[in-house]
Amino acid sequence: MVSPEERRPPAGDLASLSELDEASLLGGLRERFLRQQTDVGDILIAMNPFQPLPLYGREVSERYRHHQTGTLPPHIFSVASRAYHAMLGHRGGGPQSQCIVISGESGAGKTESTKLLLQHIMNLCKGNSQLEQQILQVNPLLEAFGNAQTVMNDNSSRFGKYIQLRFQKNTVRGAKLSEYLLEKSRVVRQDPGERNFHIFYYMFAGLSSEEKEMYGLLDPSLYRYISGRFGTEDVAQCWKQKYQEVCNALDMVGFQEQEQVDMQAILAGVLSLGNVTFEPEERNGSVKVSEASWGWLKAAAGQFGVQEDELLKCLICTMSVTRGEQIQRFHTQQQAEDARDSIAKVAYGRVFCWIVCKINELLAENVDPEVELSEIGILDIFGFENFAVNRFEQLCINLANEQLQHFFNRHIFELEQAAYKEEELPWETITFNNNEPILKLLLAKPLGLLSLLDEQSAFPQATDRTFVDKLNSSFKGNLHFQPGRGRVLGFSIIHYAGKVQYSAGGFLEKNRDTLPANVRGLFINSITPLLSVLFTATISRTGTLMPHVKPKVVPGADDKFNSTRKQSAGAQFRHSLMMLMERMYSANPHFVRCIKPNSQKEPGVVDSQVVLLQLRYNGLLETIRIRRDGFSWRPSFEEFAERYGIILVKPDVSLTKESCLEILQSTELTGWMCGKSRLFFKYWHQEQLAKYVAQLEGAAVVIQKVFRGFKCRRSYLKLVAEVRAEAQRLQEEAERERSRQLAVEAEAQKRISLPVPMPRKRRPQPCPHPDKSSEPPVPRPRSKLTEFTPFDNFLDPSAPRPVLGTEEETGEEVKMRKCKRGATLRWFKETQAKKVIQDDGAFPSWLHGMISRREAENLLIDKPLGCFLVRISQSRPGYTLTYRGEGRCRHYMIQVQPNARYVILGEDRAHASLTRLVRYHQTVGIQPFMELLTVPCGQKSSESLDYEDLECLKLTPSEDKGGTPPEEQPCPSGPSTSRPGLQSGAAAVLRHVWFRRSKNCQKEQREDKRTKPSSGKKTGSQRAFPRFHSSIRLAMQEIQQLSSTTLKNSAQSCCEALSIKDLEPK
C-alpha cells in the first residue's frame, strides 16, 4: 500500500512550498543549485551550472530507468522516463505520442538538456541496435554546422530543431529531424564578440596540411568571413578534437566519403568567395574583380566545380531574356558585393538543409507501412534574444518563443481551468500573462507584421523605410508596438519577456532571400555532384530542401531563382511554425524550463535579479500555484476504468462512474475529485496508482509461474510414468521369453537320442537402419560454453569440449548453409580481401576464417586474459570479434556500414578499416565493460589453417593492377597428393614474391602521380578528391605568390623611406 510519506509531493518539488512567493521560490532554486534539479509538479526547472557536474553518468541513468516520483530527486532523466513510459501506455491510458518542450532564453542550457534526454531515452529502449548510436551522433553533427558563439552563449543554436523518435512497442525504429530558420546571415557577417559557425574553425584546426592543400585552404587570418580571427593554442586543440568528432559522426550516421569531401570543398569555396573584392571600372561604370582577388575567384570556382568566367558573370552582371533577346545589366559595386554574399549564404544554407535531409534518409524507419508507430518528439529551439542590435533573425526567434509560451499557457492554464468550469468544480481562477495579442500583432492576416513585410517585399521599389512607415501607420495605438524615436530606422515590440528594439535595416532583403540570376543554372551544371544536387532541389513551403533528379539546364536561360521559390523567408518560417504547433498539439506535452543563473556565464554563481526576471516572465509563480492547487491529470470514467479495473480483481468491470469510485475506494488515494464526466487527480496520483497495478501484475506473474510449473511438472510425471511402464512391460516380456527358452531346453534334455552335429552359428548381422534423411534432425545439446547470454559464455577448462561435425543435417539445411557460406565468401573477396591482407601478403594473426562460435571458444579456452580473434560470420556479410574475458568469452558483432566503415555494435566510433578498429581497441576499451584487446590468437597449427577457403580467392586484374599471385588459382576438386606442409610453405613464398612485385608496381605508379597528395586520414582505399583539384592548387599558388610579392614590395618601400630619411640634412 501507499505510505503517508508517498502521498505527499516529492522532495525538491516547488509545489510543496508552505509559503508561495518570489522570495521562497528563489530560495528553493538557490538551495538546490549545483546539487540537483527542481520540479514544479511534473514540470522540470533546470538551471545551467556552466560547468560539468557528476549528475549525468551511466550509473545515474540506470537509477532513473524505472524511477517513481518520490523515490529519487527531480532530474532531466525523470522527464525522459516519464515520456517514454507514457508513450508505452504505462502511466494511465493507452499508448500515446509524447513531446518534450525545452524552453528558455539563449544560454540557459537547452542544447545540453536535449542531448541528455536523447541519451537517457536511448538507454531506456536499449535494443542493441546501431541505430541508437547513430541517433546520438546527430546532435554533435548539427551543432558543428548550426551553432556559433554569440555574446550571450558560446554554443548558441542558430536554428531550431524538432527530433521525432519513432518506436515500435519499446524499440526505436527510426528518427526524423525538422529544422527551422537557420541564421544564414552569420556566414557573411558577425557582430563584435561573435564568431561564424563552428565548422569553419573546426576545419582549420582539424585538417592536416595535405588536406588543406587539397581543399585550397590557407592561413585562417586571411579569410574575411571569419573576420581574420582564430583562437589560442588551447582553443585550437579543442577545435581539432571537435573536428574528429564531427568526422566520426558523419561516418557513424552513414555519409559517404566522396560526399564528405564535396561538402568540405563547398565550405572552402564559401570562404574563398568571401575574399573576392570589387572595384569600379572607369570605362563603362561597371565593376570588375580587383587584381588582388583574382586568385580567390579562381579558387572559389575550382572549389565549387564551375568555370571561372561563368562565376564572374554571375557576380558582376545580370543576364535576362526579353522577347528572345539576351540583355546584360552590369552591377554596381554594392550590388556585386550583395550578389557575392547571397551566393555564400544560399550555398551554406543548402548544405545544411542537405545534411538534415540525408540524416532523415539514413535514419528512416524500415518497417511495414501498416505498422503503427508511437513517437516522442523533442523540441530544441533558439532561446529568447535581446542584443544591442536586433535584426530580422531575432524577430523570428522571438516569435517562435512567443508561440511556445502561448502553447505552455494554453496547456497549463487555459485548458485546465476550462475543464474545472465545465465539470462544475469549485475553483478560484488563476490569472496569467496571456500573450495572444502579441501573436496577433505578428501573425495576423492581412495586417500582421509578417503579412505587411511580405506585401512590401513584393514591391520592387519598396525600401526598409517604407516598410517601417507602413508599420507605424498600421499599429498606431497598439499597446505592444512602439515606433522608433526620431529618424531611427526601427521599431520596438513589447514581448512576453520584455521590450526588444529591432533595427529594420535589411528586413526586406532578408525576407526576399533572393539569389542572383543564372547562379542556380551555373551550380546545377557543376561537376561537383553534391552542389548540382543542392541546386537541382526545390524548396517546400516550410523551407525544406526536396532533392529530385532534373535534367541540367543551360546557363543564361530564364532561370530566375524566385520562380522556383515563391515563398518568402518569413512565410516559410510561419508555415513551418504552424506545422510544428500541429505536431505538438496532437501529442501529450512535457515541459523543461531552462534558467540562466547569471549573464556573465560564470560557473556556480546565481544572480538573483537575472533569475527573478526569468521566473516572472515565464509565469513560474502562477505555474506553481496551479500545480499545487489544480489537477493536472483528468481521465474520463471510461479511460480510468479500462486502465485500472484490474485493481478490483474481478472480471468484466463496467466502464462507469460507479466502477471508478469503487476502484478508488479500494485504494488509499486522497485529494482527488469527481466531476460530471471525468476524474481529477494530482500529478503524483499516477505514480501511486501505478504501484497498485505493479503489485497486481507481479502477483499475476507469480500465479502464471506456479501454474506453468505445475502444468510442466504434471506433463513430466506423466511422461516418466509412461517410460517406466514401457520399461516394465519390456522387462516382463524378456522374463517370459527367458522362461520359455529354459522350458524348451529342459524338454530337450529329457529326450535321449544320438548326437547330431549342431549347425554352425552365424555371426549376427547389423539391423538395417532406416533412412536418416527422412528423419528430422536431432537437436544438439548446447555447449557449456554457451549456456548463459548470447555474448557472455563462461569458460570451463575441465569441461569436455564439444565434438564438432557430428550433427546430422537435412539436405535443405546443408544447401542453405552452403549458399550463405558462398555468398559471404564472395562478399569477402569482392570488398574485403584487399583491405585485410597485409603488405607481406599474409592475413593478420588475429584474423581467422569462417569458423563457428564454438570453434572460436575452443581456440581461446586456454589463452590468457585479453586474447582475441576476429572471425568471418557464417550467416551474414560481416565479422565477429571473440574476446577471452574473466572466466567467459564475449562475442562482439562488427558491422560493415554501407559507407565502408567498421563499427562494433553499440560503440560510438566508426573506423576506416578492420585493422584500425583492432588498433584502436588495443588502447581504448570496448563498451560497456571497457575491455582492452591484448594478445591476438593465432592459428591452431601452421599446417591446418582455418582460413584455407580464403586462400583460394582469385584477385582479378581489374581488382589489382599488379597481376594475380601464382598460387591463387581455383581450388582443385580432387585430393592433392603433395604434402600439406611443403604446399603451404611454397604458397607462402610465391605469395610473398607476388605481393612484393605488386607493391613495387604500385610504388612506381604513386611516383608518377605525385600531384595528388596523400592523407593520413583515410587509408586502405582510393582517396576521394575535389573535382577541380588541380585548378585549386594553381589558384592557391597564385594567391601565395601575390601575397609574397605584396609583402616584399611593402618591405622594399619601407626600406627606401628609411634610406631617404637618413639622407636628409639634420
**Residues annotated as part of the active site:** 106-107, 111, 153, 156-157, 383, 385
**Residue 299 Ramachandran class (φ > 0 left, ψ -120 to 50 alpha, else beta):** alpha
Which residues does 37 contact at the CB level (< 8 Å), separation at least 6?
A: 12, 44, 45, 46, 47, 73, 74, 75, 76
Which residues does 887 contact at the CB level (< 8 Å), separation at least 6?
A: 794, 795
**Residue 287 Ramachandran class (φ > 0 left, ψ -120 to 50 alpha, else beta):** beta
User: Looking at the DSSP assignment, which residues form a beta bridge with residue 330?
Assistant: 317
CA distances from 586 to 64, 176, 1058 (A): 27, 17, 77
Contact between 1019 and 520 (Cβ < 8 Å): no
Contact between 882 and 889 (Cβ < 8 Å): yes
H or E element in which residue 1048 lies: helix 1029-1063
- Taking residue 465's Cβ as centre, other Cβ atoms within 10 Å add up to 12
**Phi/psi at 879 (5° precision):** -130, 165
Residue 164 is classified by DSSP as: E
Q: How far is C-alpha 953 from the chain's CA centre?
A: 38
Residue 829 is classified by DSSP as: I
Furthest CA-CA distance within the chain: 166
Torsion of CA 12, 14, 19, 21, to 10 degrees: 130
- C-alpha span between 1057 and 653 (Å, rounded): 103
- Taking residue 372's Cβ as centre, other Cβ atoms within 10 Å add up to 7
The three three-digit cell numbers of residue 606, written as one number? 546565481
Helices (H), 751-852: 811-827, 833-836
- C-alpha span between 10 and 2 (Å, rounded): 13
- C-alpha span between 180 and 403 (Å, rounded): 14
- C-alpha span between 969 and 951 (Å, rounded): 9
- Taking residue 708's Cβ as centre, other Cβ atoms within 10 Å add up to 10
Q: Is 458 exposed, middle or buried (0-12, 13-18, 19+ CB in 10 A)?
A: exposed
Q: Is 633 exposed, middle or buried (0-12, 13-18, 19+ CB in 10 A)?
A: buried
- C-alpha span between 1057 and 1049 (Å, rounded): 12
| Cell numbers 555494435: residue | 905
Contact between 392 and 506 (Cβ < 8 Å): yes
| Pairing label, strands 156-157, 879-884 | unpaired
Measured in Å, how far apart are the chain's first and last C-alpha atoms? Answer: 105
